Structure 1
Amino acid sequence: MNTHYKFDAQAINNHIVNWLGTYAQNAKAKGFVVGISGGIDSALTSTLCAQTGLPTLCVEMPIHQAQSHVTRAKEHIAWLKANYPNVSGAEADLTSTFEHFKEQVPPAGTQHLTDHTLANTRSRLRMLTLYYFAGINNAIVAGTGNKVEDFGVGFYTKYGDGGVDVSPIADLLKSEVRILAKYLGVTESIITAKPTDGLFGDDRSDEDQIGASYEELEWAMQQKEFGKKSGDFEGREKEVFDIYIRFNTNNQHKMQPIPVCEIPLNLK
């Protein structure tokens, strides 16, 4: 899949940074708030925000987090602060908040449903926290979703990590995120780490949950754009394409605007 022969990292970097700065200026916001997970998407997003020169607050929000995620997050924030004087860090340990929430609500009918719902709850607690920091700093919450996550498989939490003010990297494929992150000097351990949403308190990857890698999903996304159907493929290609279509179909409610029930004028 040859998609990057025209990818101009410097030009794209400058375009996103200018776009972020213009948006903040028009919104009369003082800067940006970014949740830092230890993954490449949040690392790239925070670096792009830092380049605007506006105050950029990087927030760690551990909830029973795997130590490897915590270590990478701290390393990235330290790297940013060493390179950009406008960057600051904050930590809000939400573990006790999450545990208290669990005590106040009933379990679901099955353990799987309970676990999945609580995973989304972690993401929504983090969204609330980011907007608190944004509120007290007159800042904008910058989202960290890439194109495959946001518009391909919808692999994010509605009103969790999907609840943001701006999405600076949502038109970049995961492979393009890696190219741009490498261009900007993001730590190699973050670039090569397996992508994970970090919502289950262990080290399971996105690929473990989805059943396909982002490279495979990019391929499937492109094939769908070409008008291909499941019957056009065999073996692993068919399996990946079917996975992509299933996620894309089931998660359309995340990708489309909230439905509004429009009242006919003759009823008003």
Structure 2
Amino acid sequence: MQVEKVINHITNWLKEYATNANIEGFVVGVSGGIDSAVTSSLCANTGLKTLCVEMPIHQAQSQVNRAQEHIAQLKERFPNVSDISVDLTPVFEEMKSAVPAVEPSAQLDLSLANTRARLRMTTLYYFAGLHKYLVAGTGNKVEDFGVGFFTKYGDGGVDLSPIADLLKSEVYAIGKALKVPNSIQIAAPTDGLFGDSRSDEDQIGASYDELEWAMKMQDNGQKIDDFTGREQEVFRIYTRLNTVNQHKMNPIPVCKIPVNLL
């Protein structure tokens, strides 16, 4: 990948899209991870106003520290960058108390994790509407089009996706070129939605390098029986998630009414 040319291409794409839409800038949720760090850096690189929003919900201090380090560095380098922190923990807890209590379960944990992501999406759109900004998505290609590792109408609810055609390894390469803090570059990827230390790999069962490999194998027409051992296990994980999460990756089904019924 020609890193500098890709950076310039995305930067120009962002700027052209915003200009044509008569929009004044971007709002990005910054989590302390590589994807949001790269996305916010690319938005800042356009010269347009870029608002970085921290939205902790029972967040690990290490994630908060990385997000703040990145934002501070961006503000030093780009005068068009501003930031705000919105503690959504009380909002999250209030919602939990407002809905009927249910027995603890893995399904409850997942539902609450997705609720966190959707509260953040709502917050980003509040600021986008307030300032006439676009919400810039932070999903990469493996997450958005491979395994569907995002929350529908949560981190998947965005106006445009600048890094969604980049594999995770390519996001890291761009992050290095954009001088993303080393603490973010070496941190284990995590969505931070469960209030514990679990990483993306813990949740998925495979690393991003393995998922990239499986994505390429599927694109090449390979089948599960073409592999053995760990490769077969990873390919099975990838194809299962790619199948069950199609509802996230495909357009919302619309019930078409036959002409003779109208």
Shared fold (TM-score, shorter chain, > 0.5):
yes
The count of corresponding residues between Structure 1 and Structure 2 is 262
Shift of 1:106: 2.1
From 86, 89, 93, the counterpart of 1:95? 89
> Which residue does 1:219 correspond to in 2?
213
**Any residues of structure 2 matched to 1:1-268 within 5 Å, and which?**
7-108=1-102, 110-268=104-262
List per-residue Cα deviations over 1:39-83 (Å, max 9, x = no partner).
000000000000110000000000000011000000000000000
Q: Matched residue of 1:32: which SS?
A: strand
List per-residue Cα deviations over 1:159-204 (Å, max 9, x = no partner).
0000000000000000000001001111111011100000011121
List per-residue Cα deviations over 1:70-126 (Å, max 9, x = no partner).
000000000000000000000000000000000011245651111110000000000
Which letter does structure 2 place at the counterpart of 1:77?
Answer: I
CA distance in 2, matches of 1:25, 1:99: 39
Q: Matched residue of 1:10: which SS?
A: helix
List per-residue Cα deviations over 1:129-163 (Å, max 9, x = no partner).
00001010000000000000000000000000000
Which letter does structure 2 place at the counterpart of 1:157?
Answer: T
> How large is the Cα RMSD of the aligned pairs?
0.7
CA distance in 1, matches of 2:116, 2:104: 19
Which letter does structure 2 place at the counterpart of 1:131?
Answer: Y
Unaligned runs of 5+ in 1: 1-6
Contact 1:107 1:114 in 2 (8 A): no
Which letter does structure 1 place at the counterpart of 2:146?
Answer: G
